[in-house]
Amino acid sequence: MTTLIGHEQQRTQLAALARDKRLPSALIFSGIQGIGKHGAARELARQLLCSNPESPQGGCSGCRTCSLFDSKTHPDIHELCFSGDKGATVDDIRKTLENMSLKSFMGGSKVAILNDADEISTVGANILLKSLEEPRPETFFILVVANPSRLPSTILSRCQRFFFDRLPLEALQQIANRLGLAPLNESAAALADGSATGLDALQARADMYDDVKSVLDKAFQGDATSIGRAAQEWGGEKNQLRERLAFIRTTIRKKLVENAQDRSAAAVWGNALQNALDAEYLVLERHVNPTLCILKTLQSCNRDLSVAYQTTPNQMPSLAEILLDERR
């Protein structure tokens, strides 16, 4: 789970309400785009679903439900997004509400996160209202919205509202730090503070960077399951492919620099870097299957390759060669 930046007060308050079983069943998280409302919703959901009886803020990170949550396979959390061309339809809402009305699979709470819920259709809102009017025990709805006044008053009156403010400069600096960016100067900070999309991009990039870094560490250990899952997920994110591939490349380059003294590790990261460059070219210019290219790049980060590399330095196949082989 990514460490969230900012909103300590709201997050502590929500965690305490959840711990004391005083959390209302319908919540609205409001605030401008890109400040981490969705991250806060997921943090709360992880705590609510955690099977540890003493579940701390964000969950215990040690139980099975927490790991299911992280691998996005927990059956008791449902997420919908109402914005964009592919926003949730009335059928999607019906299906989610039906799932929410069933008994919990893991024996704990059930949580639905409704992103950009202020863009829900009138029909959708009416269907949702019924579920909010008859709350079931241990069932929680979190509506993440930029503009709560766009929600029907019937829905607003059923929900307890939590306001998330703009991120202060300090938090923006932390995000910039985490991304390895130069400290924000005054104008960049002012721009980020004023621009919702700028903040959004910063926060999203921080999450993406953490995500890539943790998968690369697992790839180095030879964790085939994590590699496969990441390749599947990242290869499917068509809108973010360019940025994701660039992150993979720069993060591998960082690993190479960090491990310059360790000959065998450096050999692996050096080879992986070449593959990451190839992957960018093959995916973006030649339209080769992104999942496959990402998978091959991640596989080439495995430290066990270093043994093979040291004995037969010229045997390390490049991504282009591997893919050509498979096409033959």
Q: Which positions lie near Zn ion, rule CB under 5 A?
A: 50, 52, 59-60, 63, 66
- Our measurement of the distance from residue 97's CA atom to the centroid of its chain's CA atoms, rounded to an integer in Å, reads 23
Cα 265 to Cα 269, 273, 310: the distances in Å are: 6, 12, 11
Residue closer to Zn ion by CB (options 34, 58) is 58
Residue closer to Zn ion by CB (options 50, 117) is 50
Q: Nearest distance from residue 19's CB to Zn ion, in Å?
A: 13
Q: Nearest distance from residue 61's CB to Zn ion, in Å?
A: 6
Contact 35, 203 (CB under 8 A): yes
Helix axes 37-49, 8-19, angle to 10 degrees: 20
Residue closer to Zn ion by CB (options 52, 291) is 52
CA proximity to 112, closest of 91, 83, 141, 139? 141
CA proximity to 131, closest of 26, 238, 11? 26
CA proximity to 8, closest of 174, 184, 160, 204? 174
Both tokens assigned to 286 = 């030649």
